[in-house]
Amino acid sequence: MPRRPFRLGRSLTGLGLFATRPIKKKTRLAEYRGPILTQEEAERAERRGNRYLYEVSRNRTIDGTPRYNIARYFNHSCNPNAESVIWRGRVFIRTLRDIKPGEEITYDYGTDYLKNVIGRSKCKCSRCRRRRAKRARERRASKRRGRAKSARRQGRPRGRRG
């Protein structure tokens, strides 16, 4: 297999994987590897706080904790440039579009993970951060508008008196 087209690096959430050269759409990047757990074992691991579980089917969950599983370092995004695909009981991370060098490679972990593990309001992906920044700007702007309005209301009677 050729050298990986991505490397481990610092991201906002800790570590992440970044493209080191242009990568074409639909490129298979890595396999999500680890011991296979039964449903019962997976539930136990989840209760212990394991955040690297990938449920392939009802009785087949990959425990992606081991360090050799490079795919565990792909971060979640609500606007991802890669996806996970299941093929014959195995899981691969594959690009959704062309990726430029330097771009962080992400995939969508799914609604359950976002809701239960990350927390919708705490997601640090670029789309969620942009949305939160926009909302904060709008809140600040509407506060300014509110202040301007009340200043005018106070100004009118004074103007009449003078």
Cα dihedral 95, 96, 97, 102, rounded to 10, equals -50
Query: In this structure, which amino acid lies at residue 28?
Result: R
51 or 143, CB closer to Zn ion?
A: 51
13 or 150, CB closer to Zn ion?
A: 13
123 interacts with Zn ion by CB under 5 A: yes
Stretch that binds Zn ion, among 13-21, 54-62, 71-79, 90-98 (CB under 5 A): 71-79
> How many residues bind Zn ion, per CB under 5 A?
4
- Residue ranges of alpha helices (H) inside 17-66 are 39-47
Residues 6 or more apart whose Cβ sits within 8 Å of residue 63 = 34, 35, 36, 37, 42, 45, 50, 52, 53
| Binding to Zn ion, residues 8-27 (CB under 5 A) | none
71 or 123, CB closer to Zn ion?
A: 123
Tabulate helix, strand, coil % of the chain (nearest 5).
35, 30, 35
Among 20, 33, 78, 83, binds Zn ion (CB under 5 A): 78
Query: What's the min distance (Å) between Cβ of 6 and Zn ion?
Result: 20
* Cα distance between residue 8 and residue 152, in whole Å: 56
118 interacts with Zn ion by CB under 5 A: no
128 interacts with Zn ion by CB under 5 A: yes
125 interacts with Zn ion by CB under 5 A: yes
Q: What residues make contact with Zn ion under the rule CB under 5 A?
A: 78, 123, 125, 128
